[in-house]
Amino acid sequence: MRNIGITVSYDGTNFNGFQTQPYGRTVQDEIEKAILKLSGESIEIDASGRTDAGVHAVGQVFNFHTASTIPTERWAIALNTRLPKDIVILEAFDVPLSFHSRKSAKRKTYRYTIDTGKFPDVFGRQYRFHHPAKLDVGAMREGLGYLVGEHDFTSFTSIHSTKPHHVRTIYEAELVREGVFVHMYITGNGFLYNMVRIIMGTLLWVGQGKLAPEAMGTILAGRSRALAGPTAMPHGLTLMSVQYSSDS
Amino acid sequence: MRNIGITVSYDGTNFNGFQTQPYGRTVQDEIEKAILKLSGESIEIDASGRTDAGVHAVGQVFNFHTASTIPTERWAIALNTRLPKDIVILEAFDVPLSFHSRKSAKRKTYRYTIDTGKFPDVFGRQYRFHHPAKLDVGAMREGLGYLVGEHDFTSFTSIHSTKPHHVRTIYEAELVREGVFVHMYITGNGFLYNMVRIIMGTLLWVGQGKLAPEAMGTILAGRSRALAGPTAMPHGLTLMSVQYSSDS
């Protein structure tokens, strides 16, 4: 028995999220079906975390234990030929038997992208949230700064969060302008349910002058979901990478 | 009665081409339906040219005559609210009654994009042709140079071309590398059926060393479709812009 780690990208548009659900097409189901076709094994894979319906991944990571003798370097191409075109395996690598893609993860980076153009860029419409408002990116950047560090993120979590503790650490958070697009990149040791989307929904209020940048600090300190802004649409969100060594 | 010109972008993935067909969803049908909903007029629009199934447009142009009193600057937003999300009107402008988006066009620019990555970029899979071969872009660039100027492009046209004459002028043609992507931009006074795709299919042979760059000149001079390479997949092709003044 050995343990294989896989980096996978997917277009979340036509999935009901990563994780197996009673209804709807999921990334996990498609990957488990592809593994079954390839190795004949009925395996449950473990991902670094679920992503919601409509959310994308550039570099999601999962792992699974297998008795197969297929060489590790063959898994990526062999799975890709058995997967639908909206899932692309990027790399397969051997990991210790103790490795667990969720429990071993040290940091995750997400990106949320806003398209501020008058009309949406049709080619990125499924990967960017079209919000044709004039945004004060400087104010948003200042507001985002209040979230960096170790904090209780209850205000920026869905009331449906099932986690007992809401303290997480944001290591880095930045806003990058690229023409009419505004990207937020955010890296932390873990993210609560809807956390990145609620942060972006609240920052959009700051960008439009509905909230002062300092309000981000006040909302954080208030520890109540009711204080923060709306949950931004899922399709602007992409899981960029998962890091497993704390120095990366 | 007045004449309105429109610049429109569309994702060709889920269309059976631009032009109305007996079967399948077309861009023209969707736009004509949106005009009917907006102004109550059953109008046939004229585009700068058809695009095939799977081919995209950043800046296709069409025009139509209307008796509607809706101000020109309202047409873009008013049509967008009545169009499916894979068609986005970018601009509406008044044109002289004599303007015809096809007959008045002076130059068109197309882009064809190859994804040479080991595995496809999942987010651009519908806009780039995944061809994971090592390409000699310098040789392709040299080969492409043979096509610039006024030539008979019979070798680079489908045998199903219905045009009586195959002489066209290519004003500019260039290859641009962007990481693992290779873009061909090509500007001419008109393009024959499948012309850009056959040029790219043949250049891919040059890039892989199956043909010498000079062969592009020999194929051109031979005036026979049988001499050229395969027709590259439609989804890598995008109509970038249509120019109406000869100095633009």
A159-199 per-position pLDDT tens digit: 888 888 999 999 999 999 999 999 999 999 999 999 999 99
With 0-12 / 13-18 / 19 or more C-beta atoms within 10 angstroms meaning exposed / middle / buried, residue B96 is exposed
Q: What CATH number should be reported for the domain holding residue A33?
A: 3.30.70.580
Q: Are residues A130 and A165 in the same domain?
A: yes
Q: Are residues B130 and B38 in the same domain?
A: no
Q: Are residues A86 and A112 in the same domain?
A: no
Predicted ipTM of the assembly = 0.91
CB A59 within 8 A of CB A7: yes
CB contact under 8 A, A122 and B80: no
Q: What is the DSSP letter of B223?
A: T
Using the Cβ of B86 and the Cβ atoms of chain A, whether some distance falls under 8 Å is answered with: yes
> What are the tokens at A158?
């869905």
Residue B160: how many other CB atoms lie within 10 Å: 8
Q: Number of A:B CB contacts under 8 A?
A: 50
Using the Cβ of A136 and the Cβ atoms of chain B, whether some distance falls under 8 Å is answered with: no
> What are the tokens at B115?
């994804």
Domain boundary among B54, B74, B95: B95
Mean pLDDT of chain A: 96
Catalytic status, residue B86: no
Q: Are residues A155 and A57 in the same domain?
A: no
* Distance separating alpha carbons of residues B130 and B118, to the nearest angstrom: 9
* Distance separating alpha carbons of residues B232 and B215, to the nearest angstrom: 18
How high is the pLDDT of residue A246? 58
CB contact under 8 A, A76 and B119: yes
Q: How many domains are there within chain A?
A: 2
- Does residue B101 lie in a domain region? no
CB A161 within 8 A of CB A188: no
Domain boundary among A95, A116, A148: A95
Catalytic residue among A11, A29, A46, A52: A52
How high is the pLDDT of residue B161? 85
Q: Are residues B78 and B113 in the same domain?
A: no
CB A140 within 8 A of CB A202: no
Domain boundary among B47, B74, B95: B95
pTM of the predicted protein model: 0.93
Considering only alpha carbons, which residue of chain B is nearest residue A130? B85
**pLDDT tens readout for residues A15-66:** 999 999 988 999 999 999 999 999 999 999 989 999 999 999 999 999 999 9
Q: Of how many residues is chain B composed?
A: 248
Q: Are residues B131 and B221 in the same domain?
A: yes
CB contact under 8 A, B119 and A90: yes
- Does residue B176 lie in a domain region? yes
- Does residue B170 lie in a domain region? yes
CB contact under 8 A, B89 and A119: yes
Q: Are residues A7 and A61 in the same domain?
A: yes
The SS3 assignment for A35 reads helix
**Stretch A86-101: mean pLDDT:** 97
- Does residue B157 lie in a domain region? yes
* Distance separating alpha carbons of residues A225 and A228, to the nearest angstrom: 6
Using the Cβ of B80 and the Cβ atoms of chain A, whether some distance falls under 8 Å is answered with: yes
Q: Are residues A62 and A113 in the same domain?
A: no
* Amino acid in position A54: G
* Distance separating alpha carbons of residues A133 and A216, to the nearest angstrom: 20
- Does residue A102 lie in a domain region? no
- Does residue A159 lie in a domain region? yes
Q: Are residues B111 and B83 in the same domain?
A: no
- Does residue A100 lie in a domain region? no
The torsion region of residue B233 among left (phi > 0), alpha (psi -120 to 50) and beta comes to beta
How high is the pLDDT of residue B164? 86
Q: Are residues B162 and B66 in the same domain?
A: no
pLDDT per position in chain B (248 positions), as tens?
899 999 999 999 999 999 999 989 999 999 999 999 999 999 999 899 999 999 999 999 999 999 999 999 999 999 999 999 999 999 999 999 999 999 999 999 999 999 999 999 999 999 999 999 999 999 999 999 999 999 999 999 998 888 889 999 999 999 999 999 999 999 999 999 999 999 999 999 999 999 999 999 999 999 999 999 999 999 999 999 999 985 54
Q: What CATH number should be reported for the domain holding residue A215?
A: 3.30.70.660
Using the Cβ of A122 and the Cβ atoms of chain B, whether some distance falls under 8 Å is answered with: yes
How high is the pLDDT of residue B246? 58
Query: Among candidates B174, B195, B171, B194, which has minimal Cα distance to B185?
Result: B174
Q: Are residues B12 and B48 in the same domain?
A: yes
Residue A156: how many other CB atoms lie within 10 Å: 30
User: Beta B87-95 vs B56-66: how paired, if at all?
Assistant: unpaired
Residue B172 Cα to chain centre, angstroms: 15
CB contact under 8 A, A119 and B80: yes
Domain that holds residue B122: 107-243
Q: Are residues A152 and A29 in the same domain?
A: no
How high is the pLDDT of residue A248? 45
How high is the pLDDT of residue B247? 52
User: Could you give the angle at which helices B137-145 and B215-222 cross, rounded to 10 degrees?
Assistant: 40
**pLDDT tens readout for residues A113-126:** 999 999 999 999 99
* Amino acid in position B42: S
φ/ψ of residue A113, rounded to 5: -120, 130
How high is the pLDDT of residue A247? 52
pLDDT higher than threshold 60 for residue A84: yes
Contacts of B86 in chain A (CB under 8 A): 122, 125
- Does residue A122 lie in a domain region? yes
